[in-house]
Structure 1
Amino acid sequence: MTDTTAPDLPAWPYPRWVAHRGAGKLAPENTLAAFRLGAQHGYRMFECDAKLSSDGVVFLMHDATLQRTTNARERIGAGHSAVGGDHPWHTLSQLDAGGWHSRAYAGEPLPTLEAVASFCIRNGYFLNIEIKPTPGTERHTGEAVAHEAARLWQSQSVQPLLTSFQPEALMGAQESAPALPRGLLLDSLWTGWLECALTLGCQAIVCNYALWDESTVRQAQSAGFRTLSYTVNDEWVAERLIALGTDGIITDRVDLFTPA
């Protein structure tokens, strides 16, 4: 298969291999424990999900609701809102975000973006922050996450990559911190995806890996975009994406793939 990498793309400072939500499924996702485990496997770049507490603190969580990855039902009570964005950080900081995974991680807290930034900066790691808004707060969350990321990484030569499935969230990020690199996440190639990424000033397209073929890689790279894929957990998929000349592979299988 022909390597389609465009020779005139801007410099890309990030590693090819990215640990999904820290260490994917081997540790509780979106926790510092997961980041540490990914680092033990040799990963230097991590993907995480960021959203806002009701009082504006940026913290890590994938789901809109708290039930799957915390003990909110016990701690907050079934009669209260299960939506993470409905609670102040003081309440969220008391939750156990590790016990659901295994006893070894019981008591692991939800981390703030500030805590993750400290970990990454001190160790020279890179970060892909997926902006994961509570529904209805897309633009505001994009603005807040970008503003916080710009503040935390202001003295660093390489900034975090901000991505989202929500164009409105990326629009907020673009207005709040235009210097931070952005990427449009896609689970399908909906009409106008390339034009949307251009309008948003993105540097990358991050696709479900099945969407990349020679044609789509060529389209994206010809338009000046770097090409990344999620979530790649099989060797044959990774080999195909590398042969296509894509730039980044996000994986749960930090135990399978050794990052170069």
Structure 2
Amino acid sequence: MSAKNTFEWRYPRLIAHRGGGFMAPENTLAAMRCGHEYGFSMLEFDVKLSQDNVLVLMHDDTVDRTSNGIGLAASKTFRELSELDFGAWHSAFYTGEPIATFLSVARFTQENNLFCNIEIKPCPNREEETGILVANAARQWWHHSHLLPLISSFSIEALAAAQKTAPELPRALLTEDLADNFIEVLERLDCVAINIKQSLLDQEKIARIHQAGYKVCAWTVNDYQRARQLLQWGCDALFTDELLRVTPEMA
């Protein structure tokens, strides 16, 4: 029996994007605390590998945008990444914020009873390797938890590796288009949901995906009226950066 038929969907309808949305430097432990403080009970974040295979939180392939360093993340060891400032780009308040490890965020979210969407964000040519290591770590660190994380990725190769490594962890396909064969891909990866670019959604598409047996999560919804519309159409979850206006109270 497929995961979509056996998994009980318990995730909140509002999810803080990259931890703290616009309010804190993305993918840092400070961002996770910020999302929690703003009342979100589910946080989304990106995980990739350092050169020496430490699982860290980062979105981009390079460190340029979100740190005071330059260059490819895949070319830097964890020690080198740890020497960079991942907060100053956001605001003076967060200057000195270090890169977050996957382990530190796993500990924080579990201790505070928070759900997670873990996005596998592999560096180029490390898709399978990253999928395996992220899934192995999640399986180990959430082994005794009743709040299983949702594993997602744009990379079909990474998601397939996670499926093979830890099939018990629920998965969602991340996509910015809706290919004709998307149901087939969801079935092959034994997903429970599709995380889809919000501009692609209308009421008919949400109904179609639901009829196929999958949940619909929309990214990234920062407009209050659009958030209300998607929720009224039955969207199962929304990712948002706008923690002040698109709030859990809406759901």
The residue matched to 2:21 in structure 1 has which SS? coil
Alignment coverage as a number of residue pairs: 245
Moved over 2 A (4+): 8-11
Q: Distance in 2 between matches of 1:246 and 1:258?
A: 15
The residue matched to 1:205 in structure 2 has which SS? strand
Query: What is the alpha-carbon root mean square deviation over aligned residues?
Result: 1.3
Q: Of 190, 208, 218, which residue of structure 2 is paired with 1:201?
A: 190
Give 1:38 deviation, angstroms.
1.2
2:76 alignment counterpart:
87
2:46 alignment counterpart:
49
Q: Is the 8 A contact 2:25 2:87 kept in 1?
A: yes
Q: Is the 8 A contact 1:9 1:221 kept in 2?
A: no
Q: What letter is aligned with 2:19?
A: G
1:79 alignment counterpart:
none
1:102-113 maps to which residues of 2 (within 5 A)?
102-113=91-102
Q: Do structure 1's residue 216 and structure 2's residue 205 form an aligned pair?
A: yes
Q: Do structure 1's residue 14 and structure 2's residue 14 form an aligned pair?
A: no
Q: Is the 8 A contact 1:209 1:232 kept in 2?
A: yes
Q: Do structure 1's residue 62 and structure 2's residue 59 form an aligned pair?
A: yes
Q: What letter is aligned with 1:225?
A: Y
Using structure 2 for the length normalisation, give the TM-score. Answer: 0.94
Percent identity, aligned pairs only? 43
Give 1:10 deviation, angstroms.
5.1
1:147 alignment counterpart:
136
Using structure 1 for the length normalisation, give the TM-score. Answer: 0.91
Q: Do structure 1's residue 98 and structure 2's residue 95 form an aligned pair?
A: no
Q: Is the 8 A contact 2:227 2:246 kept in 1?
A: no
Q: Is the 8 A contact 2:114 2:147 kept in 1?
A: no
Q: Is the 8 A contact 1:60 1:113 kept in 2?
A: yes
1:28 alignment counterpart:
25
Q: Is the 8 A contact 1:71 1:97 kept in 2?
A: yes
Give 1:9 deviation, angstroms.
8.7
**Structure 2: segments with no counterpart, 5+ residues:** none
